[in-house]
Amino acid sequence: MPIFVVLIIFSLVFYLFYKTKYIRSKAPMEKQWLSAKCSIALGLFVFLFGINLFFIHNSIVSTIVAFVFVLLGGASVIAAFKAYKYYLPKTIEERK
């Protein structure tokens, strides 16, 4: 499905964007905050890749692999979003 391909590419671009910002950042809390954003983008990449596998291949093995990718990607997004919410106020306080 072409929409998933576009979303996969966008999530990979956002991952690279936030990773370069992470490397260039000097503040420790901002680095953690940007790392959480990187993890969200990477988790979305894996999640969307797994969903795309459901539609491309119709074998049992690819369905199992896609299911694992969806679970790992979803868990990564949830964990990274919690870290994002945790570090956001600390980053704002650090910038003052």
So what's the pLDDT on residue 55?
87
Nearest to 65 by CA among 46, 45, 43: 46
Residue 53's CB is within 10 A of a number of other CB atoms, namely 19
The structural domains of the chain, with segments of one domain joined by +, span: 2-95
pLDDT, tens digit, 9 for 90 and up, residues 8-23? 999 999 999 999 999 9
**Does this model's pTM top 0.85?**
yes
CA separation for the pair 14, 49 (Å, rounded): 15
So what's the pLDDT on residue 17?
96
* Angle between the N-to-C axes of helices 60-95 and 28-56, in degrees from 0 to 180, rounded to the nearest 10: 160
Q: How far from chain centre, in Å, is Cα 52?
A: 16
pLDDT, tens digit, 9 for 90 and up, residues 44-75? 999 999 999 988 888 999 999 999 999 999 99
